[in-house]
Structure 1
Amino acid sequence: MAIEIDEDYLLAQLKTLLTIDSPTGYTDAVVIHCSRELERLGLTPELTRRGAIRAVRQGSRRQGARAIVAHLDTLGAQVKAIKENGRLELVPIGHWSARFAEGARVTLYSYHGAFRGTILPLKASGHTFNDAVDTAPVGWPHVELRVDALTRSAAETRALGIDVGDTVAIDTGAEFLDNGFINSRHLDDKAGVAILLAAIEALERAQARTPVDTHWLFTIAEEVGVGASSVVSPDIASMLTIDNGTAAPGQNSSEFGVTIAMADQTGPFDYHLTRKLVDLCEENRIPYQKDVFRYYRSDSASALEAGHDIRTALAAFGVDASHGYERIHRHALVSVAQLVAAFAVSPVRIGRDLSELSGIDDFTTQPTKAAEQAAAPSSGRRSPEYQRHRPGNLPRGGA
């Protein structure tokens, strides 16, 4: 039975999430919002000390549980120094170029209140610097934050209560178009969070049963590389990460359908779990494509690096201009949500994953001969934007 996604609910959640500032290290408000929404959907969220969320939806069995994860934190900046002219030197939170910070409207959060401001290049006035505005270098040392308050010196800025280390949240500038395109900063990974909430809402509405417990995880430090390092429990055997796919020249990602990541800079994702995602897309007529990301990591990497012996895979919604002026299409959001719901209710195919350790009996297998990899042509059913990839007549596996 296909689980129907409420697109209006998904988009409403995304709009709300985009109004909540949550750069890494300043995520309390979005954690509270997400936790309350999970409670409204009928789940019981558990929070780690710092605020990562785990909400378990019970299935037929506890062992061999599945996790589905997205991250609540976003890119941002911090005050590095207070300059003699009263303006602020910044350093980035997460990895993003100052090229996309120039002109951004922001909120600065100090211990003594919040301030509005604009990130500007050091040479911001064309009437003063003429062509030098166009030849100025790009980089964080070459921008500054102009605070919208009366200050012309470092002493006056400090008197406002602003200090080194204060958090700077970047405005999203969100715009939802009637043709389905969505332009906004921080779609990575607010869109992923909205996808998880929409999948949960759909499963609850359908009163769907799952073969194992499903751990819905929301992390708070993915942008600095430590997202899922501490919220994964020993019951989990496989984890599906939901994050952005880079729709750009040289990539196979798209703003439509599901992008299934085969590998990122940390290496290949789990063969069997990734194969299962492909099968589920085929079985549920969900358009998809595969991609490999060279300069990318996700919550999957942090979980494995923390020592969790779990299968990991990544299903992405294609984002144009990721970590910059981001754009997505709602078609991808709904497609990924459909895959998440289908994954949650799908049968367990690798029974040995119930135990952390076992013998050679029932161990998984992969094709070893070229002849075994010969495949019949795909039936080709899909939206016109794509040619779906049928993996062939190989034995099916997956978690």
Structure 2
Amino acid sequence: MKNSVMPLIDDTYIASFLKTLLETPSPTGYTDAVTRVCCAELERLGVSYEITRRGAIRARLQGGRRQPARALIAHVDTLGAQVKFLKENGRMELVPIGHWSSRFAEGARCTVFTAGHGAFRGTILPLKASGHTFNEEVDTQPVAWSQVELRPDIVAENAADLAVTGFNVGDFVAIDPQPEFLDNGFVVSRHLDDKAGVAAMFGAIKALVEGEVQLAVDTYFLISVTEEVGHGASSVLTHDIASMVTIDNGTTAPGQNSREFGVTIAMADQTGPFDYHLTQKLLRLCREEEIEHQRDIFRYYRSDSAAAIESGADVRTALVTFGIDASHGYERIHMHALHSVARLIHAYAASRVEIRRDAEPLTDSLKGFTGLPMDPANEESWDGRDDAPERPSEGGQN
């Protein structure tokens, strides 16, 4: 049955916060500024949070009970590059941050952040960038990071000029997002993966806070800062968290079932299937809340869910995505998907806890252990009100 009260998801807020995130450069490894942006917004919303040494964020909305806590996670780090070598032609060789093709770097405007000498603008160009000089060779040179170079917008004729200015091996390069928010709801920009997911998550947080929703259990909203290099959620979980829903992009492309509208729920990615019970719950919530949705499987894709499992966390994981065209390139999404994702986040956070046994990491009995459809007698549910000790009067802080 559909809930009688529809959450008030503020699309204008989501778009505005997304714009703020996109305007804050944050290639993996250079994310302090965007961490500050997210923390400032959490403070404005009145949500408590903790920060790890490297800048991952763990925000919490207190529920009626501490365990089994649930979490939602999105990542705010993006693709980018680093300076590999100062070249004798006054330009710089690059290596990518994250996995993305140099095909999408060609022609990109960017900013190089030096250590103590300021930030400098530049352009990433193919080695053979002029048709007037190289004729048809501009169309036949290979696609590879070794085939592009960064041209800084300064007077530099050799490597020594670059060094004197302050450039060095390891300097971070942030790629301009060039966002466009169109009147028809489309958003075109680099780095929508996963700043759009973060914005949708904040939209849900805002609705939960302003709606004064009473949560069954503590619910954590996690923001990771190293997802694009594979670490992600490995250092931000607590032992109380029994289930974690990752919010990230779904690839709309030939052979994929993802769309730029509604929610796309991933059934599996290259690391294997997601948790059966958590995924089925999300699908059920979509049906109950009448949230447009579809399913997909991603063959060349991993997320914060994989990082959590590989780090040894015994946590149920699922993946909720917004459809994105040309992922890791010139990306495009639609606000309909972000609105839908925010609604599902809200519904999940506000839902009852159904697997009582998840309150304990280990038990010595099969009592309460989950069952599959062919054995429904093994299924047990808990509505979050009557089957666990009450939260201590002091608030049960972690």
CA distance in 2, matches of 1:173, 1:129: 29
Report whether the alignment pairs 1:49 with 2:49: no
Aligned residue-pair number: 376
Partner-residue secondary structure (3-state), 2:349: helix
CA distance in 1, matches of 2:6, 2:229: 36
Report whether the alignment pairs 1:80 with 2:84: yes
- Where does residue 11 of structure 2 map in the other structure? 7
Report whether the alignment pairs 1:323 with 2:311: no
Distance 1:269 1:4, change over 3 A: same
* 1:45, distance to aligned residue in structure 2 (A): 1.7
Letter in 1 for 2:78: T
CA distance in 2, matches of 1:396, 1:353: 11
* 1:3, distance to aligned residue in structure 2 (A): 1.5
* 1:398, distance to aligned residue in structure 2 (A): 10
Counterparts of residues 290-309 of structure 1 (less than 5 Å)? 290-309=295-314
Counterparts of residues 275-354 of structure 1 (less than 5 Å)? 275-354=280-359
- Where does residue 269 of structure 2 map in the other structure? 264
Runs of 4+ in structure 1 off by over 4 angstroms are 394-399
Partner-residue secondary structure (3-state), 1:342: helix
CA distance in 1, matches of 2:380, 2:371: 10
Report whether the alignment pairs 1:365 with 2:371: yes
* 1:397, distance to aligned residue in structure 2 (A): 7.4
Match of 1:110 among 93, 109, 114: 114
Letter in 1 for 2:38: C
Contact 2:26 2:34 in 1 (8 A): yes
CA distance in 1, matches of 2:24, 2:347: 29
Letter in 1 for 2:335: R
Match of 1:142 among 125, 144, 147: 147
CA distance in 1, matches of 2:381, 2:101: 41
Contact 1:272 1:398 in 2 (8 A): no
- Where does residue 162 of structure 1 map in the other structure? 167
Contact 1:123 1:132 in 2 (8 A): yes
CA distance in 1, matches of 2:67, 2:104: 45
Match of 1:121 among 123, 126, 129: 126
Letter in 2 for 1:171: D
CA distance in 1, matches of 2:99, 2:264: 22
Counterparts of residues 181-330 of structure 1 (less than 5 Å)? 181-330=186-335
Q: Which runs of 5+ in 2 are unaligned?
A: 384-398
* 1:129, distance to aligned residue in structure 2 (A): 0.5
CA distance in 2, matches of 1:185, 1:364: 41
- Where does residue 96 of structure 1 map in the other structure? 100
CA distance in 2, matches of 1:11, 1:259: 20
Deviates more, 1:343-352 or 1:359-368: 359-368
CA distance in 2, matches of 1:24, 1:160: 24
CA distance in 1, matches of 2:242, 2:144: 42
Distance 1:254 1:73, change over 3 A: same
* 1:2, distance to aligned residue in structure 2 (A): 2.8
Contact 1:275 1:398 in 2 (8 A): no
Letter in 1 for 2:112: L
Q: TM-score, normalised by structure 2?
A: 0.93
- Where does residue 152 of structure 1 map in the other structure? 157
Contact 1:274 1:398 in 2 (8 A): no
CA distance in 1, matches of 2:340, 2:382: 20
CA distance in 2, matches of 1:298, 1:172: 21
CA distance in 2, matches of 1:92, 1:338: 35
Q: CA RMSD in A?
A: 1.5
Letter in 2 for 1:72: V
CA distance in 2, matches of 1:89, 1:171: 18
CA distance in 2, matches of 1:395, 1:133: 62
CA distance in 2, matches of 1:91, 1:69: 28
Q: Give me the identity figure in percent.
A: 64
Match of 1:29 among 33, 36, 39: 33
Q: Which runs of 5+ in 1 are unaligned?
A: 373-393
Partner-residue secondary structure (3-state), 2:96: strand
* 1:344, distance to aligned residue in structure 2 (A): 0.1
* 1:395, distance to aligned residue in structure 2 (A): 7.5
- Where does residue 133 of structure 1 map in the other structure? 138
Partner-residue secondary structure (3-state), 1:157: helix
* 1:189, distance to aligned residue in structure 2 (A): 0.4
Contact 2:352 2:382 in 1 (8 A): no
Contact 1:273 1:398 in 2 (8 A): no
